[in-house]
Amino acid sequence: MIFLPIVGRELRVAARRRGTYVTRFVIAVGALVLGGFIFLMEMDARPQLLGQFLFRGLSVLALLYCLAIGRRSTADCLSEEKREGTLGLLFLTDLRGYDIVFGKLAATSLNGFYGLLAVFPVLAIPLLMGGVTNGEFWRMVLVLVNSFLFSLAIGIFVSALSRDFRKAMGANFLLLFLLTWGGPACAGLIAFFSATHTIVRGLVVVSPVYSFVFGFDVLYKVHARDFWLSSAISFGLTFLLVLLAAWIVPHSWQDQPGRAEKSRWRSFWQAWSFGRAAKRPAYRKKLLNINAFYWLAARARLKPVHVWVFFALLGCWWLGGWLASQDYWLDDSVKFTTAVILNITLKSWITVETSQRLAEDQKSGALELLLSSPLTVRDILRGQLLALRRQFLAPMLAAIALELFFIRTVFQNNTPLAFFFAAGIFMLVADVATLIGVAMAAALAARSPNHAATSTFVRVLILPCVIFGIIAGMNSLGSSLASGLSGGLASDADWEYGYLGLWCMIGILTDLAFGIPAWQRLKNHFRSLATERFASRNPSPLSVPSQS
């Protein structure tokens, strides 16, 4: 039998797939645009410093890409096969657990890995500018590949243990967060409260971020041993997680008889999430009297609590930073960073939550049943909006109140920053209204909740940033070439307001361009959107499905 037959098949399929080349091209162009923006923003610096700024900025963005795309690619690959009942068919053949695991890794991660390869030539451009050595570049390549594989391994391991989509995604994120940021956070707290302020190295070397930081020449010259130790541990964990996934898969796809301990834990978790059995009928009746789809989308009563837990964690971060830095932590830049984190998290969370409900119902066939019931399209849309309001309205109002407080504190000393806060509040409301409509429309035709959320996020949030970066970079370049002559937004007195107006204008135009058509399609063509995916779908083989 050929070694790893599924991997070979997926490589041949990917070589014929147009999306493989399109993805690589788009990511390479995106890296060039971001690199050009960094270059134009720092072009007044010396060539060596400019090369360092460019290299470090692109490296940070590439690391975030590796940690995000890896877990997204593999988080639901095996658990999806379990839910659909196709994983057991693969074990009727001579395939082993490692064949399935490596085949899934090849099928789901190929586009992401090709995208990472496309970034490396752009990352090498600072070598020609000076300030970056060959060793620094190749160490960064090693760290990025290692981080990408580490993220993939976490996803495939959690997916081998899970069956439910939400649990797989949540456990995947939690494990990645603990291994990447949990150890350094604990080490920082121990160092802060201990008398000697000593960092516990065992808690930080596990994180890929540790090897990333010590891969730059400034720290590598002093901590070379720590860099290689952290890289080796990350690779060892990657190898261990993949081996565990290969061992778990043959034993986890069957429906096992429930054990007493597992049944008790499941009952406890169900009671915790949905309420006790005695109180559940009253809660169900209350929601059903309002809207039937509202009950379907809001049965998990802990969803609002999850958002407040995030706010509590952010508050702990603020408290820890204030205890460590005292008055320095009250700087305006920290307030601005907090507002950015709040807004981006709320927008991303709302996008994911909106797309998951309809996409899951679409894939399971529940939406088809709903459309054949007396429920109208208006009832479904209203129920979804009520569920989102229940989960996010109060946290959004709290975030807006906090940002209004920040505006009051910074208005006297930094007036331009106060206007940035106000624009952030306005764009938060406008983007959320657009994201909900676009995410629901995308979920009706997407292959999975991941695809719906990603396409929505890219169109509504990423695209305006790219357009803003291109226009602002071209303006900076024109201003520099004009040697101080005004170029529209180049005046030193009002550049803050000019760029702020440009950002708001691009964001509003993007929201109008995507939001209005999405809401119109939902109201007028909901049923045709819900059946569009079935009309264009081709039958797929029973083997591991390829994903573009």
Give per-residue pLDDT as tens, 54-81.
Answer: 888 888 888 888 888 877 778 777 777 7
Give per-residue pLDDT as tens, 401-440.
Answer: 998 888 888 776 666 778 888 888 999 999 999 999 999 9
Q: What is the pLDDT of residue 171?
A: 77
d(CA 452, CA 504) in angstroms, rounded, equals 25
Q: Specify whether the backbone of 255 is left (phi greater than 0), alpha (psi in -120 to 50) or beta.
A: beta
Q: What is the pLDDT of residue 450?
A: 75
Chain centroid offset of residue 70 CA: 10
Q: What is the pLDDT of residue 495?
A: 57
d(CA 131, CA 49) in angstroms, rounded, equals 6
Q: What is the pLDDT of residue 481?
A: 61
Q: What is the pLDDT of residue 192?
A: 65
Q: What is the pLDDT of residue 37?
A: 72
Q: What is the pLDDT of residue 282?
A: 79
Backbone angles phi, psi at 486, to 5 degrees: -65, 135
DSSP codes of every residue in 333-345: HHHHHHHHHHHHH
Amino acid residing at 217: D
Q: List, for the chain, all residue ranges whose pLDDT scores fall below the cut of 50.
A: 1, 484-493, 536-548
DSSP SS3 for 207: coil
DSSP codes of every residue in 434-472: HHHHHHHHHHHH-SSHHHHHHHHHIIIIIHHHHHHHHHH
Q: What is the pLDDT of residue 430?
A: 92
